[in-house]
Amino acid sequence: MQVSDTKKSNRHLLLGFALVLLIMGVVTAASLIHIGTLNQYIAQLIIETSLKSDQVFEMRDAMRQRQLRLRDMFISNDRLDREEIWEQHTLAASRFMMARLRLIELGLSEAEKKAMERLTVGASSGSIDQQEMIDAIKEGGSAKIIADKLPEAIQAQNQAFAGMKLLIEIQREQVESQLGFARQRFRNTIWIAMILTGIGLLSGVLISILVLRREAGLAVQLADYQGSLEKKVKERTEKLEVANRELEAYSHSLAHDLQTPLRAVTGFSQILQENSQEKLNSEDKDALQRVITAGKFMATLLDNLLILTSISRIAPVFERVDLSQLAKIAFEHISRRYPEVEAEVIISEGIVAPVDRKLLLLAMECLFDNAFKAVRYRKHPEIRFGVTLRSQRSVYYIQDNGIGFDSRYAENLFAKFQRLHAPGEFGGTGVGLATVQRILRLHRGKIWAEAAQGEGAVFYFSLNETSDDGETRLD
Amino acid sequence: MQERIILLVEDNPDDEALTLRALKKNNILNEVIVVRDGADALDYLFGTGQYEGRDTTVQPELILLDLKLPKIDGLEVLRQLRSDSRTELQPVVVLTTSIEEKDLVSSYKLGANSYIRKPVDFNQFTEAVRQLGLYWLVLNQSPRHQRVT
């Protein structure tokens, strides 16, 4: 859960950064495009203006030419010469007209149009004056007319030049204002780009903070959840333990209380059996015997159940105990139960371990009892107790050469009332090994068995293992 | 003979019948007084209640005491009779179903002379009764008995 959350957060973080980069990219691209259009606009403006000024200069040049030709006209005396000069004068006039037309074609602003008007008025009136003067010269006219007309012509000419100057000034102003405007736009674009980039970076940081905070929140939530879960598990476990203890206490007192009526059933049956030997037929005797046998078996069952349920009431006291000695005592006790079995016992000496003496004696008695039951029909019954090493840990064992069992069912051995043999075949109540397991659990140990049908069995047990789950294990 | 009374403190009629039969079977013919709860047992021993006026100098030669009893339980009966000069020396055999270690230890701490678990098998039970009868009524010399003789 934690891993997938982190992945999710990382994805959010990446998404946030991708968004920020996208915004910055878009801003940069838009700025570049905008600056590009501005550049294009300025370039066009410059081309347009230079074309316009070309025409203005062309007009000025043409007017100068006309003036120069007019002067030539005054100076020259040759008729042919005059003809040629006249032609040149006319050419200059048409050049002027052409330039003017081109200028108008290029498109003029209102201010330019006014300047142009002034220019045109000056030029055309100058032109008329010139025409009159030239006509006078051609006809060899009087210098008076020429002298009269000259100031007017000069004035008109000056007016035309002033118009031109104005035009150029207007154009320069226009270019300057356009350039200023472009510069302003450029500056604005840069500002907007910077602001947007700033917003992008800020939102990136914000997204990161939000994601990180959310992640932290999730972690806290997860911890809370885990905490409450642990608490719940603990509560349930406690409840379960209480219920288990109650159940066990109930089993214990039940096993205890059942003994009294059982004693009555068995006891009076035995009295009946003894007193009515002659009166009963064989079938009745058999029935009565069965009641007594069943009663005794039940008594053993109750005894074992009492032992099993009393183990959990004992607080174990651990001390260093000579297990070899304990095994000898257990063997002594059990061999008295099976006087008909002459078993050879081989006990390894000097095995010492920290255990609860009483509990471990009980466990060993159960294991020896088990072994006696397994070997009682053997010709040379043999039971061994010893210690060996498994994974560098001491493992204790009780081995017999008895009837063994099918190791597929080895796990069932340690469950209460589970038996792998029919009662007649093996005897026992099935509680013994469950008792051993419970005792070993109190010692944080384990028990497991290895066997083959008909080839004896080995019961291994360990003590003080680190884990305390007490599971049965099969090797 | 009159002085060799057995007091059987037993609430269960079946166990009472079995005990009486076991005694009879072993030819233990002493008078057996049966009381069914702890209060009755104390009344008998101290001559109170329904046993008002009983000669309390005559005390049972053997007390067979069950532990789980109505009204006053066996351990309390034991404690009271051990703290009274008339009964403090009387042999008490705890005859019970319980194998609880704490019952066993408490019984001995309060001054029980023996602790016997009633076997389910009647033959074993009879054998147990035979042995305790032989021991406490024949072999054992009690202080009071010595004083009387």
CB pair distance less than 8 Å for A271 and B122 = yes
Contacts for A357 with CB less than 8 Å, ≥ 6 apart: A317, A319, A321, A326
Residue type, A308: L
What is the pLDDT, as a whole number, of residue A471?
A: 41
Dist CA A126 CA A152 (whole Å): 7
CA distance B132 to B139: 10
Tell whether A159 lies on the interface with B, counting CB pairs under 8 A. Answer: no
- Greater confidence, A406 or A324? A324
pLDDT at residue A428, rounded to an integer: 55
CATH of residue B11? 3.40.50.2300
The one-letter amino acid code at A190 reads I
User: What was the pLDDT predicted at B3?
Assistant: 61
User: In Å, how far is B21's CA from the nearest CA of chain A?
Assistant: 9
pLDDT on residue B77: 93
Contacts of A261 in chain B (CB under 8 A): 14
The least confident of A15-24, A167-176, A366-375 is A15-24
A271, A295, A306 ranked by CB distance to B99: nearest: A306
* pLDDT over 50 at A472, yes or no: no
| Facing A259 at nearest CB: one of B100, B120, B122 | B120
Looking at residue B64, its pLDDT comes to: 94
Mean pLDDT of A267-292: 89
Comparing CA positions, the residue from A201, A311, A210 lying closest to residue A252 is A311
Instruction: Supply A330's token pair.
Output: 């257990």
Q: Over 50: is that where the pLDDT of A469 sits?
A: no
The pLDDT of residue A92 is 86
DSSP for B6-46? EEEE---HHHHHHHHHHHHHTT--S-EEEESSHHHHHHHHH
Domain boundaries, chain A: 2-214, 317-475
Q: Scanning the structure block, which residue is given the tokens 């009393």?
A: A310
Kindly state whether B103 is in contact with chain A, defined as any CB-CB distance less than 8 angstroms. Answer: no
Q: What is the pLDDT of residues B38-77, one digit of tens each?
A: 999 999 999 898 888 888 888 898 999 999 888 899 999 9
User: What pLDDT does residue B147 have?
Assistant: 45
Residues on chain A touching B99 (C-beta within 8 angstroms): 303, 306, 310
- The four Cα atoms A202, A208, A214, A220 give a dihedral, to 10 degrees, of -120
Distance CA B84, CA A181 (A): 127
Q: CB distance from A337 to chain B under 8 Å? A: no
Residue B145: both structure tokens together: 């008995």
Smallest CA–CA distance from B96 into chain A, residue: A260
Is residue B99 assigned to a domain?
A: yes
Q: Which domain holds residue B118?
A: 6-148
Q: At which residue do the structure tokens 């005792």 appear?
A: A439
Tell me what the mean pLDDT of segment A125-139 comes to.
Answer: 77
Confidence of residue A41 (pLDDT cuts 50, 70, 90): confident
B123 part of contact set with chain A, CB < 8 Å: yes
Residue of chain A whose alpha carbon sits nearest to that of B120: A263
The residues near A324 (Cβ < 8 Å, ≥ 6 apart) are: A347, A348, A349, A350, A351, A385
What is the CATH code for A317-475? 3.30.565.10
Does domain A2-214 match CATH 1.20.120.1730?
A: yes
Residue B147: exposure state from Cβ atoms within 10 A (0-12, 13-18, ≥19): exposed
Quote the pLDDT of residue A425: 43
Q: What is the pLDDT of residue A46?
A: 83
Residue of A nearest to B14 (CA): A264
**The model scores a pTM over 0.95:** no
SS3 A311: helix
Q: How many CB atoms lie within 10 A of CB A236?
A: 10
ipTM above 0.90, yes or no: no
Residue B75 tokens, joined: 């351990």
What percent of chain A is modeled with pLDDT above 90? 10
Question: What mean pLDDT value characterizes chain B?
Answer: 87
Torsion of CA A463, A465, A467, A472, to 10 degrees: -50
Q: Do A260 and B12 touch (CB under 8 A)?
A: yes
Residues A373 and A383: beta-carbon distance below 8 Å: no
If DSSP states are collapsed to H, E and C, what string results for A147-197?
A: HHHHHHHHHHHHHHHHHHHHHHHHHHHHHHHHHHHHHHHHHHHHHHHHHHH
Output the pLDDT for position B7: 93
pLDDT in tens, A350-387: 888 889 888 899 889 989 988 888 888 888 888 999 99
Which residue among B97, B98, B121 sits closest to A266, beta carbon to beta carbon?
B121
With bands split at pLDDT 50, 70 and 90, how would you rate the model's confidence at B16?
very high
Q: Are B4 and B30 in contact (CB under 8 A)?
A: yes
Query: From CA A14, how far away is CA A33, in angstroms rounded?
Result: 28
**3-state percent breakdown (helix, strand, coil) of chain A, nearest 5:** 75, 10, 20
Does the residue B45 lie in any domain? yes
- Position A135 scores a pLDDT of 76
Q: How many CB pairs under 8 A join A and B?
A: 52
The CA distance from A59 to A64, in Å, is: 9
Identify which of B121, B122, B99, B94 has the alpha carbon closest to the alpha carbon of residue B7.
B94
Residue located via tokens 């498109």: A107
The answer to whether A123 and A62 are in contact (CB under 8 A) is no
B110 to chain A, minimum CA–CA distance in Å?
Answer: 22
With a cut of 80, say whether residue A261 has pLDDT above it: yes
Query: Would you state the structure tokens that stand for residue B14, as one six-digit string?
Result: 């079946």
Q: What is each CA distance from A46 to A173, A174, A175, in whole angstroms?
A: 12, 10, 7
Question: CB contact, 8 Å: B117 with chain A?
Answer: no
Q: What would the mean pLDDT of B77-103 be, rounded to a whole number?
A: 89
Is the CB of B71 inside 8 Å of chain A's CB atoms? no
Confidence of residue B127 (pLDDT cuts 50, 70, 90): very high
Cα–Cα distance measured from residue A409 to residue B115, given in angstroms and rounded to the nearest whole number: 42
| pLDDT 10s digits, A190-231 | 888 888 888 878 887 888 888 888 888 888 899 999 999 999
Per-residue pLDDT band at A419 (split at 50, 70, 90): low
Average pLDDT (A428-437) is 73
Could you tell me the pLDDT band of residue A418, with boundaries at 50, 70 and 90?
low
Q: Are B120 and A262 in contact (CB under 8 A)?
A: yes
Range name among A80-84, A345-349, B64-68 with the lowest pLDDT average: A80-84
Question: Residue B92 and residue B75: Cα distance in Å, rounded?
Answer: 11
Taking contacts as CB-CB distances below 8 angstroms, the residues of chain B near A259 are 97, 118, 120
Closest-CA residue in chain B for A252? B100
Of A271, A296, A306, the CB nearest to B120: A296
Structure tokens belonging to residue A345 = 């016992």
Judged by average pLDDT, the poorest of A205-209, A312-316, A435-439, B38-42 is: A312-316
Does A439 have pLDDT greater than 70? yes
Q: In whole angstroms, what is the distance from residue B117 CA to residue A132 CA?
A: 167
In the predicted model, what is the mean pLDDT of chain A?
A: 82
Task: Give the C-alpha distances (Å, rounded to integers) separating A410 from A168, A407, A415, A452, B52.
Answer: 115, 5, 10, 10, 66
**Strands (DSSP E) found in A286-428:** 319-322, 344-347, 352-355, 382-390, 393-400
Mean pLDDT of A282-305: 87
**B72–chain A nearest CA distance, Å:** 18
Would B136 be classed as within a structural domain?
yes
How many domains does the structure of chain B reveal? 1
Return all residues near B9 (Cβ < 8 A) that are at least 6 apart. Answer: B35, B37, B38, B40, B41, B63, B64, B65, B66, B69, B74, B77
pLDDT given at position A162: 84
pLDDT of A460 strictly over 80: yes
Interface contact A267-B100, CB threshold 8 A: no
How would residue A84 be classed by pLDDT, with cut points 50, 70 and 90?
Answer: confident
Q: Evaluate if residue B148 carries a pLDDT over 50.
A: no
